[in-house]
Every structure is written in structure tokens, then in C-alpha cells.
Homo-oligomer: A and B are copies of this chain.
Amino acid sequence: MMRTRPLKVALLGCGVVGSEVARIMATHSKDLAARIGAPVELAGVAVRRPGRVREGIAPELITTDAAALAGRGDIDVAIEVIGGIEPARTLINTAFENGAGVVTANKALLAEDGPALHEAAEKHGVDLYYEAAAAAAIPLVRPLRESLAGDKVNRVLGIVNGTTNFILDRMESTGAGYAEALEEATALGYAEADPTADVEGFDAAAKAAILAGIAFHTRVRLDDVHREGLTEVTAADIASARRMGCTVKLLAICERAADGRSVTARVHPAMIPLTHPLASVREAYNAVFVEAEAAGQLMFYGPGAGGAPTASAVLGDLVAACRNRLTGARGPGESAYAQLPVSPMGEVVTRYHLSLDVADKPGVLAQCATVFAEHGVSIDTVRQQGKEGSEEGASLVVVTHRAPDAALTATVEALRGLDTVRGVASIMRVEGE
């Protein structure tokens, strides 16, 4: 049954992920051939720095001309693991135009330009696979677009960025502040020299856009995702969370509205109960809950980043794309038929934990409670306490019932206008209850 002419793979990028892809292709070539039904070989590897020694890759395969490699007519599947928007986008389109299927791990590009990429793949009759763009080796894209294809997904909620989870885990377990925990993450290689994409939530937001798009059969772009990073999370927030029986996680949350007519996607730090399975996700691990009408609540857990786990997902997609190549089939394309509107953050309904610095005099609580009531935000619990290190002030910790985000924003604005409120020390959403 085995075809002997090998399938040809162009590897675009040979960094942490690409070098693992090349290594596994070399060491597991027999297994890959048996699973695909034909041998598969590297036809070329596009790199930026050709001088570097690359173990296991024949030097004659190395090229700095990625465009020429992607444009070769004999490539069956191109693997794009360069990342970022350009030149990745142009290279992927070049591969499509030359009849190659594409496997990519590029979350930023998919979140920015996924629909156009899907259209180009469709036009040229080739595959576009991107399991590695969601949470590395944790199967999420395939379960959402295939396993749950007969179900109705109502919510995707998870930890999809390992760097920020590592930082929050350290803040939680050692009491360290954000800066100190970031320093440790950088020293241990969990955070990049420029950690912006992770700590400001861009990486998680791109994944949220991809997952929401697949889950809701709707186009969701990065700009549609409300995004807050964790740079403002303080040791005090984490201590407050602990007092509530909660911990703080940076969550990506994609939800179908209760009436089913719209969806939302957001990334922000949130308190979740310690009893919630996401609360025990440690270090740089990722975990994602998927709630579907018939399936109920599913959870997927694993390493959400790293060279080898990302390569595992890339190679799973490579096997699928190669099998399709042999049989003339195509994998599932874009499914955006539902075209649900993506609502702004103001329409998200959730709960809040607020910490207010107030004057320590009678009537303050009543005054604040009135502001909440006027904005239709119902209070669940309130705790008044003397403020540490101050004889004059007090602190008011309020947890609300579920309310629209816009109502909460207006409430906070009005609270800030009160003479007796000296400041809003923190606002954090409470999820997973």
C-alpha cells in the first residue's frame, strides 16, 4: 500500500519549534511514513541565520530564501513556524499559490487575517491546518472543529498563556509582586526578553479570537477581543482573592450570549474559586474548559507552549495534510456561517470584586451602596475594614452579583466622584462559579 515517492515538506523557520519539527521528522521518519502511507522528506529549511549549526539537518537543505522555497512547485506541505505577520503571511500565500497545503503555528497571523488565509486555501484547493496556534500540543482546534461539530458550544474558558500563568502562580505561592515574579520567569526562560505579547495579553487574545471563531462558527478578529494584561495585578489583589477562597488567573473567555444571538471574547485577570479545576493549573501549564450543550463540560490540559509540544501539534497536522494529499481530500475549511455579531465588553455579564479606599466615617457604606444601586449593580457581599498603615482611612471590599460590564464601569466612575472615596484600589472580575 505504501507509496514510494516521498511527500515533500518545506520548513519555513527553524527556531525553537522548527528545529524540533526537523528533529522529529528525522528520528521518527518510519513511523510518520507508516501513518501517512508514504515517506515524507524535508525539501528545504528556510532560516535567517544560515551560519548556525543545525543538528540533524543536511546543510544543503538550508536556505535564506524562504520565498523561493515556499514558491517551489514540488512542495506538498509547507510548515510555517516563523511567527508574526510578515513575511509569514506572504510565504503562506506563496505556498498556497504553488499548490502546497500549509501547517502553521502562527496565532498572531490567524487572529489578524484568518479569513483571508482560509479563502486563499479554499481558492487553491489546499489545506490550512493550525492546531499549534491555539495551545501547542493540547488538542483544541481539532476537538472544536471536528469532535464537537455536531454540538453547540456555549463557552470556552481557559488559561491559554503559560508565561502569565507562571507569573501568577509564583505571586500566589511566594507572595511576590508582579515585577519580582516576572524577573524569575525571565531568568527561567518562561518569559521573553520583551514580555509584552504575553503580559499584556496579546498572545492570549489571539488564541481567544481563534478559539471563539471555531467554537461559534463566526469570524472573530483580534480587535474583537477585549484585552487586559496582568501588569496591574498586585500582591494585594492575590491576597484579597485568597480571603475570598479564590485565586487570580489570566483567563481567555469566549461566550455565547444567553439569548444565543451574539458572542463575546475577552482576556483579563480574574478571580476564580480555589475549588475550580483551573485554580490548580500550575506553572506554565495551560487548561481550557469547553462547555457544549450536549457534551457538557470538557477540559483539556497540558503544556501550552515550548518547542517539543508545539512541534507535536505541527506534526499531527502534517500527517493529516499529507494523508489528504495522497487521497486528494481536504480537511475542514473555515466555518463562519453563523456570522454572529461580537458584542463589546460593556455587554459582558459577570461578577466583580472591588476594593475601595474610603474615609473612615459614618455613612460611607450607605453612600457607596446607593451608587451601586443607582447603576443597577446588586451587591453580594461587602466588608469594611480599617486600612493598614493609616489611621484615617478605611477600606471597603465589595463583591457584586452578575451585572453588565458597562454598568460596573459607570458605577466605578460615579464612586470615584464621591468625596468620601479616596481611590479604587482594585477591580477584578470573578469567574468560574
Contact = CB atoms under 8 A, between A and B. Distances in A.
A299 B293 CA distance: 21
A184 B157 CA distance: 33
A147 interface: yes
Interface stretch (A136-144, A191-199, A225-233, A240-248): A136-144
Interface stretch (A54-62, A325-333, A365-373, A391-399): A325-333
A85 interface: no
A354 to B, nearest CB: 31
A87 interface: no
B296 A299 contact: no
Contact of A28 (B152, B306, B330, B335): B152
A85 to B, nearest CB: 26
B302 A31 contact: no
Given A147-B142, A314-B150, A316-B151, A299 B298 contact: no
* Band of interface residues on A: 35 or more
A308 B295 contact: yes
Within the oligomer, what is the number of copies of this chain? 2
A324 B329 contact: yes
Contact of A294 (B146, B147, B148, B312): B312
A228 to B, nearest CB: 28
Contact of A315 (B150, B303, B309, B316): B150
A323 B332 contact: yes
A315 B24 contact: no
A274 B349 CA distance: 36
Contacts of A337: 34-35
Nearest to A143: B139
B152 A31 contact: yes
A137 B309 CA distance: 24
Contacts of A332: 323
Contacts of A137: 147, 151, 292, 294-296, 298
A20 interface: yes
Contacts of A312: 148, 150-151, 292, 294-295
Nearest to A302: B298
A318 interface: yes
